[in-house]
Amino acid sequence: MSSNIGIDSTWVRDRFNLQYNNIFSNQAPGLVDYEISMYLTMAHIEIIDEYSASLDLFEKYRSILTAYIIQDKLPTTAYSDSNLPTIKYDREIAYQTFEFTENYWKILKEYAYTKRKTNGIPIKPITYDGFNTMSQNPFKKPNGLKGWRLDINSDGDDLRDVKILFDDANSTDYIRQYDVVYLVTPKSFDLESDIIPNSLDNNPFLTEKIVNRAVELSVRDYKPSELQNQVQINKRSE
């Protein structure tokens, strides 16, 4: 979605203020850069969340979210028989821990390739309550043909980790590589420092949607009675 429009902090600030002032006919108190940045950041998260929910239905959404989609092959250098991973156990289920190269927000697709199953096994997310219950059932827990994912933070750094449980404790199998496609966490706006997310470069369509939603959020807080009118105006451009 290339464009000749230069998307920068000045463009975003001017677009927000134009809409905001038009709604209130310059009668509302002006917002400072910090407040505008908060509304833009909240709007950014909401818009990406909505588009990602329909990612498989609309080609337009997949194109819009290209800058937010990362494909990782973990570890970045695949394990081999001469470079074996560390295998740990939880409730007699073997698992390995993997760290993402970017902060993931939503996992879209994941698969693990093991020594025995070179064509891969599906990985499904599981809650801790689900793990506690299903790990007691030998017919439901991982058996080398399927795996579970638990989200963790094992080393306390900024990157999120996952624990992939894949087989019983008596297995000699291990995960050679974990393939995952995910959405990264939407970045914040900081107009005070003239910073906008680089994912918005040359994407005026998405930026305009974020600005529109940010204005809606500010209208909701200042004058809720005007919110529905503004929502309807913004929908006309979709």
pLDDT of residue 82: 82
pLDDT tier for residue 157 given thresholds of 50, 70 and 90: low
Distance CA 206, CA 220 (A): 21
Average pLDDT over the chain reads 86
Confidence at residue 2, expressed as pLDDT on a 0 to 100 scale: 46
The pLDDT of residue 226 is above 60: no
Residue spans per domain, the chain: 9-66+189-235, 69-184
Strand locations in 40-156 (E): 69-74, 88-90, 93-99, 104-114, 121-125, 147-152
**Residue 231 pLDDT > 50:** no
Token duo for residue 161: 């980790």
Predicted TM-score of the model (pTM): 0.78
Using CA atoms, how far apart are residues 218 and 162, in angstroms rounded to an integer? 37
Q: Does residue 73 carry a pLDDT above 50?
A: yes
Q: Which residues pair with 127 in a beta bridge?
A: none
For residue 230, name the pLDDT band (cuts at 50, 70, 90). Answer: very low
Nearby residues of 21 by Cβ (< 8 Å), 6 or more positions away: 28
CA distance 165 to 143: 9
pLDDT digits (tens, 9 = 90+) for 43-61: 999 999 998 888 776 777 7
CA–CA distances in Å: residue 186 to residues 77, 96, 173, 201: 27, 27, 37, 14
| Per-residue pLDDT at 233 | 42
Tell me the mean pLDDT in the region 76-100. 89
Q: Residue 238: its pLDDT value, please?
A: 53
- The answer to whether 131 and 51 are in contact (CB under 8 A) is no
Indicate if the pLDDT at residue 227 is higher than 60. Answer: no
